[in-house]
Structure 1
């Protein structure tokens, strides 16, 4: 087994009492004070996350935009400079290779942010697809740290550490060369929690300085360090998918319910399969479930009707914000109507649930 990686903030996590676990080949904090306390801090005040394990890829060259448009499901040619688009990369069968953020500097320069668990796989896929395009791909992942600042007080906190007016960064836009604690950074108004916030990309040297400054300067704002545990509950409540849960190589974006980010009027790898899926109607759909009986539906649990398995749980939790036990499930489309009763097989025992809207929590983004 290869040795686990550590981010530049590893010592800061130990200092803050972080409980370290293995995640995607990294030693990362799952929680500090506790999942619920950290979840509530992000919903009501502000939390900071180490997301330095994420991957970053630079795409430069005459065909950069043409290459990215062929690679991903969204139409990046519609972006303004310094705008960001969320999208998926699909394989030839319409399954999802990964989901990613596409930062547009110009038609000849893009910056792609990919999931930690898929960095090597994704970069190899991109290199393969780059054949025939006039582009240069550089995997920047090992040289960058990243901190996410999320919650109603996120702007107030980050503003204390920079002279750049953060009001000038709109939702899903970014600025490069922003000085934070004197260090050059890229700051984007993005996140993975359903709250207003920022993601800041920086050098490994800068990360511990900025992290400690946030904890010190944000005390009166209610700042808490937040681990991967509440990152998952927050994104799930807000309806944000996770690779390996809501979709994978065998689940399409349409089946996962994120068709809004799929632009079928511009061809991309796998688009012919998705066009056919849409025209013929989906055989399976991702739905929200709310438990009627006791029990927590975990990823991979089977969903059944009258003893017949019709799908599986993608993600499930007792929601810290809502106080209800809810889930996303990929099931046979004929059972996807609101109010339909199904059974979740929890350790082999059927527990009743009903189909509800996947919009569990209303996002609080700054528009």
Structure 2
């Protein structure tokens, strides 16, 4: 009897082959890690534009008279500050402050929201949301019906503009337009958001339209150097921009304050939220751990779960993410360490292949677009 895991696929899976994708198992999904090379795709996003299939992400619709208060109870940010056609980055926490997930909240209408959650957490998050329903609210997991493509990079706007009469320059950062027509594909939500540190858009549309839009975008961007991109470049790009990845920088035992996304935690908002008391107490007492950036000054690349030591040899934490930065040509990483060692300039050591390699705490993000 076979125990082989059946991996999930997006509607674009067959299209990957046309572009020579190398696929891997990513959180139970069979997804492209690269099409050409990680370095080439990373470079395209920084200099021209890249196209990503992120249809594995989850989408949950929340409707009802009490939708706003219900969401505000679930999340750390303050959804009462969000206007229609505006998005907000936030987190959901357990009562002890640990992270259920980080997510985006889109306000579609009064009393109607779209929550975009991480692929590996779809079932867990949806159960969590159902357990905490309060008032006149209905929630619906529409993940299988929705595809998401992301076009990112300095030329993303000019490429996408070729497909629509909607004036994209009018869409501000973390805002969106609904029911946009993209070269005959109707009903697209065009959001000025992303996960790369570059300007760009995330496009939500009916799953059965994703392949057509993918082809139209690549054709429209062919003269501008638009490249299909995989998870490898997505990871190096987001790491350079110091964007958290659930499962590494955020976990059930790593809270948003420790992970450095305190800007999305509104402890002073009027309404209560799950985890508020614990997070407030931890902040008032002083955080014992902090997520900081490091540059490895010795030879080696810091990788997830490698141990981190003080200069005196005391084990003080762990690497959450690390890479050889394609943009900076340096080995960099994010480390969750004892707060007393978190100041910029502090010398550290990372255990790489059984050797303690020199590193130093540096400012983040490692890369910021001009």
TM-score > 0.5 by shorter chain: yes
Aligned to 2:302: 297
> Gaps spanning 5+ residues in structure 1: where?
none
| 1:79 Cα offset (Å) | 1.0
Distance 1:235 1:193 in 2: 5
TM-score normalised by the chain length of structure 2: 0.96
Provide the alpha-carbon RMSD of the alignment: 1.0
- Do 2:296 and 2:360's aligned partners in 1 also have CA atoms closer than 8 Å? yes
Aligned to 1:9: 12
Please identify runs of 4+ aligned residues in structure 1 that moved more than 6 A: none
| 1:3 Cα offset (Å) | 1.4
Aligned mate of 2:92, from 89, 93, 116: 89
| 1:347 Cα offset (Å) | 2.3
Q: SS of 1:167's equivalent? A: helix
Aligned to 1:317: 323
- Do 2:309 and 2:349's aligned partners in 1 also have CA atoms closer than 8 Å? yes
Q: SS of 1:205's equivalent? A: helix
- Do 1:181 and 1:209's aligned partners in 2 also have CA atoms closer than 8 Å? no
Distance 2:276 2:369 in 1: 29
Distance 1:255 1:358 in 2: 15
> Gaps spanning 5+ residues in structure 2: where?
none
| 1:101 Cα offset (Å) | 0.3
CA-to-partner distance for each residue in 1:87-140, whole Å, 9 max, x for gaps?
A: 01011110110000000123311100000111000100111111x321000000
Distance 2:163 2:15 in 1: 18
Instruction: Give yes or no for the alignment of 1:340 onto 2:346.
Output: yes
Instruction: Give yes or no for the alignment of 1:28 onto 2:31.
Output: yes
Q: SS of 1:73's equivalent? A: coil
Distance 2:7 2:294 in 1: 36
1:100-139 maps to which residues of 2 (within 5 A)?
100-130=103-133, 132-139=134-141
Instruction: Give yes or no for the alignment of 1:353 onto 2:356.
Output: no
Q: SS of 2:292's equivalent? A: strand
Distance 1:328 1:2 in 2: 31
Distance 2:220 2:85 in 1: 28
Which deviates more, 274-283 or 161-170? Answer: 161-170
Task: Tell me: CA distance 1:235–1:269, structure 2 relative to 1, closer, same or farther (3 Å).
Answer: same
Q: SS of 2:235's equivalent? A: helix
- Do 2:75 and 2:273's aligned partners in 1 also have CA atoms closer than 8 Å? yes
CA-to-partner distance for each residue in 1:119-173, whole Å, 9 max, x for gaps?
A: 000100111111x321000000011111000000001111111121111211111
Aligned to 2:233: 230
Q: SS of 2:367's equivalent? A: coil
| 1:363 Cα offset (Å) | 4.1
- Do 1:32 and 1:227's aligned partners in 2 also have CA atoms closer than 8 Å? yes
- Do 1:328 and 1:358's aligned partners in 2 also have CA atoms closer than 8 Å? no
Distance 1:263 1:66 in 2: 15
- Do 1:264 and 1:271's aligned partners in 2 also have CA atoms closer than 8 Å? yes
Aligned mate of 2:102, from 95, 99, 109: 99
Aligned mate of 2:243, from 229, 240, 244: 240
Aligned residues: 363
TM-score normalised by the chain length of structure 1: 0.97
Aligned mate of 1:215, from 193, 213, 218: 218
| 1:57 Cα offset (Å) | 0.2
